[in-house]
Amino acid sequence: MSRIKATGLAHKVMDAAQAAALFTNGMVVGASGFTKSGDSKAVLAALADRAAKEDIKITLITGASLGQDTDARLANAHGLHKRMPFQADPVLRKHINNGEVLFIDQHLSESVELLHNHYIPQLDIAVIEAALITEDGSIVPTTSVGNSASFALMAKKLIIEINTVVPESIQGIHDIFVPDDYPHRNSIPVNVPDARVGTTTIKIQPDKVAAIVYTAVQDSPADIVPPDAKTEAIAGHLIKFFEAEVAAGRLTNSLLPVQAGIGKVANAVLNGFRKGHFADLTMYSEVLQDSTFDLIDAGKLRFASGSSITVSAECYDRVVNNLDHYREKIVLRPQNISNAPGVIRRLGVIAINTAIEFDMYGNVNSTHIGGTHIMNGIGGSGDFARNAYLSIFVTQAASKNDTISHVLPMVSHVDHNEHDVDILVTDVGLADLRGLAPRERAKVIIANCAHPYYRDALQDYFDRACAQRGGQTPHLLEEAFSWHVRLRERGTMKG
């Protein structure tokens, strides 16, 4: 019981099944968890068990994706009515795409705004993983902050999951800042990535605590995909680009604070910074990944700000056993601070995110397959791309034996439009779109990024669109999606 330092809360301890009995059908639930880290390991699982037997469906709002197959279990048990703001689970994805679960895909900085503005009903219960409850009745989060601070503030009741595999020494890694209410909100005073502007714990109202549940389960590890020829090529183009920016005097060899999306490309790019003349780098990102800690250990990265630590099992042990070493080098913030539009612009963040596909004018699809089926969600890509100093999107030029081109006449779904995209990179090459009008962008994207097999077809479409229709953004609307249609009908985009 030593993890509960506050007096008067110990009697709230119960097991997960008992805590799960507190939920009723139709409730709106906020839960900790961001990119599989710091999520509920026991209570939501127990709720899924209940939902498998009873008619109980909730609206579930998290930080971002959950680990532990929790989303899959809840979806399979028909326990989800609505889900937001992000997910990355194949089973839940299926339930969303067949219309069984309603999914609201949100900019990660915005979920607490929507709650705060009462656009989403008040949270009935918040379930928050914590390392401990302090003497003054605050909670210390674990490996993510996500939306937990605002959830704790706004929920009617709180269930706290104390995870004893996370050492108490994690205290001090978090920086909790909650913006004031309208119309008296002040600016978020984060002017450098390593600014600490809030408290190290989340203040709660003890009388809202409905249950405390003990767990001892590690976060689901990140899937580390080893680099391959394509990710190496993408990383290579980008590192060359950054070196050229430094040579041109637009950046120093400390660059500006870097944000990197999840996945193998991001890891490959970050690893690329270990070579070369880069020094004293900083990150202002969402997720701190293996590569973040590798760069810190290599002496290249001075400081990293994020909202979660999502790493492989090996790296997890390294971090958790050396928290005193990393404490001065990292900070975990609420996602409305890590992703705050104003802070991202103020710091001049270099944003590197992965696209599902992009088009010849530089519009990016991050979320939908074939214009209809969601993959994961927009996540923080919009918060960063819109406000970044440099907004970079990467993807492979073609996939599945080159039957799918990821460079297209028109994207089947627009998450980021040409205004928000500066640099596009595929394994084929890099398109620098800065200062270019749409017709100029098309030429560079087709020449530099398209897979050779599709290059002529793209150029042909562009030429005919210019000749037959013209305009600021020439298109043949009746043909714009023909590549996607062909893929659906014939299993290949090849004409």
Catalytic positions: 286
Judge contact between 356 and 366, C-beta under 8 A: yes
* Sign of the torsion formed by the C-alpha atoms of 195, 287, 368 and 426: positive
Contacts with a copy of itself, 183-212, as mask; x by CB under 8 A: x-xxxxx-xx--------------------
Residue nearest to ligand COA (CB): 379
Torsion angles phi and psi, residue 442, rounded to 5: -55, -45
**Minimum Å distance from CB 358 to ligand COA?**
11
Span of 2-10, 40-48, 312-320, 337-345 interacting with a copy of itself by CB under 8 A: 337-345
- The site partner of 262 among a copy of itself, ligand COA, none (C-beta below 5 to 8 Å per kind) is ligand COA
Judge contact between 384 and 433, C-beta under 8 A: no
Does 369 bind ligand COA (CB under 6 A)? Our answer is yes
- The site partner of 404 among a copy of itself, ligand COA, none (C-beta below 5 to 8 Å per kind) is ligand COA
Does 114 bind a copy of itself (CB under 8 A)? Our answer is yes
Q: Which residues contact 62 (CB under 8 A, 6 or more apart)?
A: 30, 31, 32, 33, 34, 39, 84, 85, 86, 146, 147
Span of 70-78, 155-163, 330-338, 378-386 interacting with ligand COA by CB under 6 A: 378-386
Does 78 bind a copy of itself (CB under 8 A)? Our answer is no
Nearer to ligand COA, 79 or 377 (CB): 377
- The site partner of 113 among ligand COA, a copy of itself, none (C-beta below 5 to 8 Å per kind) is a copy of itself
Does 485 bind a copy of itself (CB under 8 A)? Our answer is yes
**Minimum Å distance from CB 374 to a copy of itself?**
4
- Bridge-based pairing of strands 209-215 and 281-284 is unpaired
Does 149 bind ligand COA (CB under 6 A)? Our answer is no
Burial of 169 (0-12, 13-18, 19+ CB in 10 A): middle
Q: Hey, which residues between 390 and 449 contact a copy of itself (CB under 8 A)?
A: 390, 412-415, 417, 419, 422, 434-437, 439-440
Residues 90, 452, 470, 491: which binds a copy of itself (CB under 8 A)? 470
Nearest to 212 by CA among 8, 2, 11: 11
Nearer to ligand COA, 19 or 351 (CB): 351
Distance CA 79, CA 12 (A): 25
Tell me the three-class secondary structure of 211-261, residue by residue.
EEEEECCCCCCCCCCCCCHHHHHHHHHHHHHHHHHHHCCCCCCCCCCEEEC
Distance CA 332, CA 306 (A): 5
In DSSP terms, 31 is beta-bridged to 127
Residues 172, 348, 370, 429: which binds ligand COA (CB under 6 A)? 370
- The site partner of 353 among a copy of itself, ligand COA, none (C-beta below 5 to 8 Å per kind) is ligand COA
Residues 42, 88, 96, 262: which binds a copy of itself (CB under 8 A)? 96
Q: How many CA atoms lie within 13 A of 407 on its CB side?
A: 38
DSSP letters along 97-128, please?
HTTSSEE----TTTHHHHHHTTSSPPPSEEEE
Residues 471, 490, 491, 495: which binds a copy of itself (CB under 8 A)? 471
Work out the number of other CB atoms within 10 angstroms of the CB of residue 227. Answer: 17
Does 381 bind ligand COA (CB under 6 A)? Our answer is yes
- The site partner of 382 among a copy of itself, ligand COA, none (C-beta below 5 to 8 Å per kind) is a copy of itself
How would you label 270-290 residue by residue, b for 16+ Cβ within 10 Å and e otherwise?
bbbbbeeebeebbbbbbbbbb
Q: Hey, which residues between 390 and 419 contact ligand COA (CB under 6 A)?
A: 399-400, 404, 406
Tokens of 278: 């880069």
- Bridge-based pairing of strands 368-369 and 373-374 is antiparallel
Q: Hey, which residues between 255 and 294 contact ligand COA (CB under 6 A)?
A: 261-263, 265, 286-287
Tokens of 276: 């070369």
Binding site for ligand COA (CB under 6 A): 261-263, 265, 286-287, 353-357, 366, 369-370, 375-376, 378-381, 399-400, 404, 406, 484, 487
